[in-house]
Amino acid sequence: MTLIGVIQINEVEQQSTTLEMGVFCGEECRGTGFATYFFPTQRYVVQLTIFGETGDQLTFKLYDHALGQELNLTSPEAITFTANGYGTLGSPYVLNFMGEIEEITQTIALSAGWNWFSTYLDINLDQLKAVLVTALPGTNLTIKSQSNGSTSCNGSTWRGALNSLDVSQMYMIKVGTDCEITLVGMPVNPAEHPVTIYHGVNWIAFPLGESMTLGNAFMGLAVSGDKVKSQTTTGNYNGSLWRPSFSLVPGKGYMFISNTQQTRILTFPVGTK
């Protein structure tokens, strides 16, 4: 039979092509498939061919290839195999997995001097400060934002106007020596963290766990003359192509230089590389 559905986790519809769903009868796998973007409805739909016999009871498991692991979630309600199948592209069957999403880790390499930083985890400023002090005890540290000031530590005490962390924004972190920091938290949903792009320079985060090309990241948003700067490269948009093109990388921050007076809203497309 055919099953055409959308994947929910705790009743939140997922917008990701890294999710693979398996259908099982007991412990026997009867079919697998990835969620793919269906443009007419702008939803991420999984289309499965499932093998079985009338009356078979079918359950589901979910594997996230971005994390490289099966998600520890409760399966949606079992369905019964029927030749008529379930769902259509216009009206997909809803598969709601339930349970707590586990915290994950993100390791970020910092070089001596200034680093353009962002994260895809839901952490606060105090957590970031604690991780930096643990990695570099007794050293001078600085965290700087675009518009909310900065905070610095002389080895023991933090001082400065910066008092919060916004996952949609890039920050600059200054350290005295090369190091690695490890952050722990829940992965954020980029759809819940859109970025407002103003004329001129915008410090933007990259709140995803996989790299993404400039073309995919800013598809439908970029206009001729826009620029995106990494810490080492500047990409220029000529109206159809980015030259040179490069990929946005998890853990790094970027500057988007807008060439129009119009304010725009950027939401990174999950599941596109």
Q: Please tell me the distance from the alpha carbon of residue 29 to that of residue 58, in angstroms, as a whole number.
A: 9
Which residues contact residue 106 at a Cβ distance below 8 angstroms, ignoring those fewer than 6 apart? 119, 120, 121, 182, 183, 185, 209, 250, 251
- What pLDDT shows up at residue 272? 57
- What pLDDT shows up at residue 14? 87
Q: Please tell me the distance from the alpha carbon of residue 112 to that of residue 169, in angstroms, as a whole number.
A: 22
What is the CB neighbour count within 10 angstroms for residue 182? 11
**113-165 confidence digits (pLDDT tens):** 999 999 999 999 999 999 999 999 989 999 999 999 999 998 779 999 999 99
Helix (H, G, I), strand (E, B) or coil at 218: coil
Residues shown for the chain: 273
Q: Please tell me the distance from the alpha carbon of residue 121 to that of residue 193, in angstroms, as a whole number.
A: 12
- What pLDDT shows up at residue 271? 56
Q: Please tell me the distance from the alpha carbon of residue 180 to that of residue 36, in angstroms, as a whole number.
A: 35
Tokens representing 176 are: 């005295």
List of the chain residues with pLDDT < 50? none
- What pLDDT shows up at residue 174? 97
- What pLDDT shows up at residue 210? 85
- What pLDDT shows up at residue 204? 98
Cis-peptide into 244, omega within 30 deg:
yes
Domain 2-97 = CATH 2.60.40: yes
Q: Please tell me the distance from the alpha carbon of residue 188 to that of residue 270, in angstroms, as a whole number.
A: 11
Range list for CATH 2.60.40 in the chain: 2-97
- What pLDDT shows up at residue 169? 96
Which of the 8 DSSP states describes residue 81?
-
